[in-house]
Amino acid sequence: MELNLNNGAEALGLWLGKPAPRYTSYPPAPFFHTTLAGNDCARSLEALPLDEPVSLYLHIPFCRALCLYCGCNMAVTQRDARVEAYLETVKREASLVANIAGRRRVSHLHFGGGTPNIMTARAMQDLFAHLNRVFDFNSVHEIAMELDPRAVTTEQITALASCGVTRVSLGIQDFNAEVQKVIQRIQPYDMVARVCDELRGGGINRINFDLIYGLPLQTPETVVKTAQQAVTLAPDRIALFSYAHVPQIKKQQQALEAFGIPDAAQRLEMEQAARDTLTGRKYQPVGMDHFAVPDDSMTRAWEEGTLRRNFQGYTDDAATTLIGLGASSISQTPDGFFQNERDERPYREAVDNDRFAVCRGFLTSAEDRVRAAIIERLMCYSTCDIEEICRKHDFDVNIPASSYPALAAFEAAGMIRREGHVLSFISPHRMAIRLICQAFDTYTKSATGTMSSAA
Ligand code: SF4
């Protein structure tokens, strides 16, 4: 398979393999600082307009086994009692939030992990009952949960459906048996097919798949095969993520190096091959790395110009406040970001003593918010009218415009076009958008050690 080098080797040299944030927030989370605490978060929640709905993210940081490629904040446990004690703390945290912010209307509720379906069916129902007491779900748009297909049970599906879950994301990664063996995550196609059937039979009809390219033993051909197999199961959305190899942070990833980590050019070939496969089967590309069927709410949001980007990646959620519950979760309010303690023990110590577990965060300035809006628009739509954003924020356009010279090489290489203050990304290599966004980022330019590379 050959690379589609529309823009030539010169363009590739500008971005391929270069580290850049994925911009699920601006500033990116590594730039949060430790001078913020629970009181700052409480003040920000207290100041929310009374009728404003919020979205909730709930982090379940436990798994039964460690996948070698994992980059998540999680711990391995076999003890249900540990999970249940944690859930008691999460319920307490939800009550603390509701005491401050009121019984808010919820727009979206998303469970991430870890493995949220490490919860038993009974624990799920108990947690939902509590959330329903302290928040108002009468006008909720969507309740979604990330699931590990290896752990899904019939009882869980029944419980999830009865709690109002309508969308699930299955971590697929790759269907190739050899790749699954190397990454230590064995889940054959037939198992996933059975789980999809059971979910649909149980009334949970919106199914997302997460795929990863850039893992050891993968080739463009194996990645295409996985994408083809995925499509036969008719997921509504597919997220096609680049493997983030950061062994300096995630030590267990070192074990993958013995099998060879594909380099940036190989990863690009895989991404293009999978992209062509998905778009050839009528999946609409959305943003940098998502694909969705035409009647999916993400496709509609993309078409209507309302697509957003937050800590969960691309979203059709319109709420401007996202409240994170659980260890390491991040809340986003109009004032900025507030992150909970990453580790279970300090998180539980704080909340069990009726304190917010916030340990770091970032209060954004007017300039941060303008730059965030520019970056979010570029990440979602590959084009941005910077003057219009500045007008909305009553901000001097000359300040972000001072970033234009940093984009000159991308313009000369034919990757972007700029007409006045309207910037358009025209390269076929969607992953490179991260580097374009970085030109507007005043924080990351001098610190790239913890970031994965584009493609
Ligand atoms: S199931 Fe997900 S969170 Fe858990 S170890 Fe595997 S990749 Fe990490």
66 lines ligand 1 (CB under 6 A): yes
The reply to whether 338 falls in a domain is no
Same domain flag for 23 and 33:
no
Distance 114 CA to ligand 1 centre (A): 5
Distance 251 CA to ligand 1 centre (A): 14
Distance 356 CA to ligand 1 centre (A): 26
What pLDDT does residue 442 have?
A: 95
Q: What is the CATH number of the domain that holds 48?
A: 3.80.30.20
What pLDDT does residue 455 have?
A: 65
Q: What is the CATH number of the domain that holds 397?
A: 1.10.10.920
Minimum-distance ligand 1 atom for the alpha carbon of 114: 3
70 lines ligand 1 (CB under 6 A): yes
Each of the 455 residues of the chain gets a pLDDT tens digit; together they read 334 444 577 889 999 989 899 999 999 999 999 988 889 999 999 999 989 999 999 999 999 999 999 999 999 999 999 999 999 999 999 999 999 999 999 999 999 999 999 999 999 999 999 999 999 999 999 999 999 999 999 999 999 999 999 999 999 999 999 999 999 999 999 999 999 999 999 999 999 999 999 999 999 999 999 999 999 999 999 999 999 999 999 999 999 999 999 999 999 999 999 999 999 998 999 999 999 999 999 999 999 999 999 998 999 999 999 999 999 999 999 999 999 999 999 999 999 999 999 999 999 999 999 999 999 999 999 999 999 999 999 999 999 999 999 999 999 999 999 999 999 999 999 999 999 999 999 998 655 555 666 66
Going by alpha carbons, the residue nearest to atom 7 of ligand 1 is 70
Distance 151 CA to ligand 1 centre (A): 12
Going by alpha carbons, the residue nearest to atom 2 of ligand 1 is 114
Give the domain range for residue 398: 1-27+365-445
Distance 63 CA to ligand 1 centre (A): 6
Same domain flag for 285 and 416:
no
Same domain flag for 235 and 369:
no
Same domain flag for 420 and 394:
yes
What pLDDT does residue 37 have?
A: 87
The reply to whether 424 falls in a domain is yes
Same domain flag for 383 and 248:
no
From 240, 255, 337, select the one nearest 289 (Cα to Cα): 240
> By CB neighbour count within 10 A (0-12 exposed, 13-18 middle, 19+ buried), where does 398 fall?
exposed
Same domain flag for 88 and 197:
yes
